[in-house]
Amino acid sequence: MPDAGLDAPAQHAGMSTTESSESFQISREIAEFYETAFVPAFFAQWAPILCQAAGVAPGHRVLDVACGTGIVTRTAADRVAPGGRTVGVDLNDAMLSVARRVRPDIEFRQADAARLPFADESFDTVLSQMALMFFPDRVVAVQEMARVTSPGGTVALLVPGAHEHQLAFARFADLAVRHAGDEARSLLSTYFLCGDLDQLASLVESTGLQVTTARTEVGTYRAPSVDAFVTTEVESTPLVQRISSDVYARIRTGAHHVLAGFTTADGRVEAPFESNLVVARRV
């Protein structure tokens, strides 16, 4: 999965390798690469789905938690005008710098999802896209989202669906297991940790929010080549530290086989990708 770095020089961005906050101190170069390569190829497609499902509308006050370079924040900002307010928060300075460069008119602040720097009931809608699985304490993060949402307001989350349903990723994981052993599967699955839709809905309900929508959306994962897909999968996860160069080479060769069904005539990878969407109301 594209975390924040997919290809050289943006390898091993560290977003999916560990659940600790330190892993998010990525460089400006990687954040720029995330914005120019991954946002258009993958992240941008989900932002309108999330904003639409959350009912973001003119005049609303919207918070985007773990905003990255701000694709959801700016999608929401365009929908709340005129008269609304949109704020994006993220742990990572580099992501925030790029977010501010792209949209200097939007407020971006550094903050941990576990300690949102806002008063209770400050927002009508709180959004978070492709990030909950990285938070060390997901319940606390959703509690924080609920706290800053006004009564009657909305919290909406979008995360990758189950690993086994992502055909290209599941086949690649099977290949990695064949060459690197069982451990490879869990090393490759961090991005999909919130993939069980029922569990995600239960987590949200456990914070006192009332789930109104829990569904799976299907989009497309795109990589410029099979090699780029492999680089992302191996080098943005701890797998890269556990395998020899021989094993890595065998996985790279095998990937051309297992991903053949998802490879276009000009060599790009395009695979269906499931995301889980949960929308909840603050009562």
Give Cα 8 distance to the centre of its chain. 20
15-33: string of b/e by CB count within 10 Å (b at 16+)?
A: bbbeeeeebbebbeebbbb
Q: Which residue is nearest to ligand SAM, using beta carbons?
A: 68
The sign of the torsion formed by the CA atoms of 138, 200, 73, 122 equals negative
Is 5 in contact with 236 (CB distance < 8 Å)? yes
Compose the 174-213 pattern: x for residues touching ligand SAM by CB under 6 A, - for all others. ----------------------------------------
- Taking the C-alpha atoms of residue 86 and residue 96, their distance in angstroms, rounded to an integer, is 14
**Crossing angle (nearest 10°) for helices 167-180 and 226-235:** 60
Interface of this chain with ligand SAM, residues 149 to 178, rule: CB under 6 A? none
Of 10, 67, 156, 157, the one binding ligand SAM by CB under 6 A: 67
Of 24, 123, 192, 229, the one binding ligand SAM by CB under 6 A: 24
- For ligand SAM, the closer of residues 43 and 248 by Cβ is 43
Tell which phi-psi region holds residue 208, choosing left (phi > 0), alpha (psi between -120 and 50) or beta. Answer: left
Closest separation between CB of residue 123 and ligand SAM, Å? Answer: 16
- For ligand SAM, the closer of residues 19 and 205 by Cβ is 19
Closest separation between CB of residue 239 and ligand SAM, Å? Answer: 18
Interface of this chain with ligand SAM, residues 131 to 150, rule: CB under 6 A? 131, 134-135
| Phi, then psi, of 188 in degrees rounded to 5 | -90, 0
Closest separation between CB of residue 282 and ligand SAM, Å? Answer: 20
Stretch that binds ligand SAM, among 130-138, 164-172, 232-240, 250-258 (CB under 6 A): 130-138
Q: Degrees (nearest 5) of the Cα angle 109, 115, 121?
A: 85
- For ligand SAM, the closer of residues 3 and 124 by Cβ is 3
State yes or no: residue 71 binds ligand SAM (CB under 6 A).
yes
Stretch that binds ligand SAM, among 128-136, 175-183, 204-212, 239-247 (CB under 6 A): 128-136
Closest separation between CB of residue 260 and ligand SAM, Å? Answer: 27
- For ligand SAM, the closer of residues 154 and 263 by Cβ is 154
Compose the 73-112 pattern: x for residues touching ligand SAM by CB under 6 A, - for all others. -----------------xxx--x----------------x
In the complex, the residues that contact ligand SAM under the rule CB under 6 A are 3, 15, 21, 24, 43, 66-68, 71-72, 90-92, 95, 112-114, 129-131, 134-135
